[in-house]
Amino acid sequence: SLRAGIVGLPNVGKSTLFNAVVENGKAQAANFPFCTIEPNVGIVAVPDSRLHVLSDLSKSQRSVPASIEFVDIAGLVKGASQGEGLGNKFLSHIREVDSILQVVRCFEDNDIVHVNGKVDPKSDIDVINLELVFSDLDQIEKRIDKLKKGKAKDSQSKVKEEAEKTALEKIQEALMDGKPARSVTLTDFERDAVKHLCLLTMKPIIYVANVAETDLADPANNNYVKDVTNVASQLQSRIVTISAQVEAELTELPLEERQEYLQSLGVSESGLGNLIRATYDLLGLRTYFTSGEKETKAWTILAGMTAPQAAGVIHSDFEKGFIRAETVSYNDFVAAGSLAASREKGLLRSEGKDYVVQEGDVMLFRFNV
């Protein structure tokens, strides 16, 4: 499944957030077949109220949510790209994730040391951004040197290597300017040619502003959050506000007391669902459902996938033998009350192999084995 890596300077609340996400995930889905797979990797359910609605309507025996993996990547410090701290080891962990969540400290607390002496989100973001930029520059330099030697065997690979070199030079220029690779305009062909490098600053990033509980109700009022918002928009990234501490406390409260606690802070729901959803959206993911008596299940696909490709997520045989898909939108399904009723009312459409699956579609695949 897709991985999101949690990074940030020491003492900003990464582990607190990671633990809250994992604990919350366990509590939310009693029969969820996943759990913490390594000390720093947790698989969490993507909260989706539609799943429960469909599951009730279909009288399913169980419901299975979509999931993403969160990885706690501690230890990124200033100088990591030069091998400071555990330096390059952590950068290599970041290379393996699909998206990055950078926790930025926006809360004051004199008891908790800030590595740079004071809370300064803009500087925190710059420090980490620079490490990622240095690491990418280093890699690009080596790669360009290699490409200059021009070992391409045929004209096709020569064209590809030329595109890669052009793209890398464009990215190099941006990086020298402190700008991330993701801000560079590339053709699809160029983008494809540099993909194998897994550049760190090419990965989508969300800034997670970790605020004090007193700022939760109106985070935009907090100047630190304003700083993060400004930097994020310059770096073409998103921001999510959360209080890691509150989330951690919530996981320790009995369910019936959580709502009361949230209300006392002036908010209506935990921020974790929002964070998980934002991560899911950031990855360009979409959900479709299958729903029957045995189970109702949320399946994850990429935006733009066709019906056979979506069927292939369940099983490759479904894609190979695809005949057609019976499809009803989530809203129509709910209005009709069941798949059978959707069919009777003519809301269940028969779609062929070119159909692009829409967010929330409920699907039934017909295939040859």
Report the nearest approach of ligand GDP to the CB of residue 352 (Å).
50
Cβ neighbours of 337 (radius 10 Å): 12
Vertex 116: Cα angle to 112 and 117 (nearest 5):
55
d(CA 259, CA 265): 10
Among 2, 3, 10, 40, binds ligand GDP (CB under 6 A): 10
184 versus 228: smaller Cβ distance to ligand GDP: 228
Coil, helix or strand for 76?
A: coil
Q: Is 245 in the site for ligand GDP (CB under 6 A)?
A: yes
Residue 4's nearest CA partner among 110, 14, 12 is 14
Contact criterion met (CB below 8 Å) for 81 and 88: yes
Annotated binding site for ATP: 11-16, 211
172 versus 245: smaller Cβ distance to ligand GDP: 245
d(CA 95, CA 107): 29
244 versus 298: smaller Cβ distance to ligand GDP: 244
237 φ, ψ to 5°? -135, 170
Annotated binding site: 11-16, 211
Among 58, 102, 237, 243, binds ligand GDP (CB under 6 A): 243
Contact criterion met (CB below 8 Å) for 327 and 351: yes
60 versus 210: smaller Cβ distance to ligand GDP: 210
# chain residues binding ligand GDP, by CB under 6 A: 17
d(CA 305, CA 298): 15
- Identify which range of 11-19, 124-132, 136-144, 224-232 contacts ligand GDP by CB under 6 A: 11-19
Site string for ligand GDP, 81-120 (x = CB under 6 A): --------------------------x-x--x--------
Q: Is 41 in the site for ligand GDP (CB under 6 A)?
A: no
Tokens 């062929």, residue located: 352
Contact criterion met (CB below 8 Å) for 60 and 46: no
- Identify which range of 183-191, 228-236, 242-250, 332-340 contacts ligand GDP by CB under 6 A: 242-250
Q: Is 292 in the site for ligand GDP (CB under 6 A)?
A: no
135 versus 241: smaller Cβ distance to ligand GDP: 241
Contact criterion met (CB below 8 Å) for 71 and 50: no
Vertex 89: Cα angle to 87 and 94 (nearest 5):
100
Among 244, 272, 307, 328, binds ligand GDP (CB under 6 A): 244
* Tokens describing residue 99: 């998206």
Report the nearest approach of ligand GDP to the CB of residue 123 (Å).
16
Name the residues that contact ligand GDP, by CB under 6 A: 8, 10-16, 74, 107, 109, 112, 210, 212, 243-245
